[in-house]
């Protein structure tokens, strides 16, 4: 049974344990970027099928947006691990940035403005 409240740190560790069982280990950052781009393309294709104007071909296997987002997350974790990046720390820094820079960028539900 999978823990649905797993932390990013524990997920990164699980991904690392998976990768460490193979002789090839982590691929180069450039290869990982190519793979991430491929996975994002597959996600875009699924979004287009579900929410856009392009229906699936009759012979195409069904996939889900959730499945493709999972692939993007997995490959992102592989890249972060190989570059020794703690995604929890990266996330926290990004949230600080967005909470400061974009605090009043969009109309807020609480009615607050930057005046």
The domain spanning residue 68 has which CATH number? 1.10.287.1080
Q: What is the mean pLDDT of the chain?
A: 91
Q: Is 78 within a domain?
A: yes
Tally of domains in the chain: 1
Q: What is d(CA 98, CA 105) in angstroms, rounded to the nearest whole number?
A: 10
Token pair listed for 16: 């690392």
Is the pLDDT at 62 greater than 60? The verdict is: yes
Inside any domain, residue 80: yes
Domain that holds residue 25: 8-86
Does the structure show a pLDDT above 70 at 22?
Answer: yes
How confident is the model at residue 1, as a pLDDT?
Answer: 47
pLDDT tens digits for 101-112?
Answer: 887 788 788 888
Q: For residue 68, is it within any domain? A: yes
**Residue 81, pLDDT above cutoff 60:** yes
11-17 mean pLDDT: 97
Q: Does 102 map to a domain?
A: no
Does residue 108 form part of some domain?
no
What is the reported pTM? 0.84
């Amino acid at each position: 049974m999978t823990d649905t409240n797993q932390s990013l740190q524990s997920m990164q560790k699980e991904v690392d344990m998976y990768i460490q069982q193979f002789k090839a280990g982590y691929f180069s950052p450039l290869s990982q970027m190519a793979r991430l781009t491929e996975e994002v393309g597959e996600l875009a294709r699924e979004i287009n099928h579900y929410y856009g104007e392009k229906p699936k071909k009759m012979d195409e296997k069904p996939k889900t947006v959730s499945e493709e987002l999972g692939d993007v997350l997995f490959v992102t974790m592989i890249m972060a691990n190989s570059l020794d990046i703690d995604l929890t720390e990266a996330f926290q820094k990004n949230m600080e940035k967005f909470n400061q820079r974009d605090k009043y960028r969009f109309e807020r539900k609480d009615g607050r403005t930057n005046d």
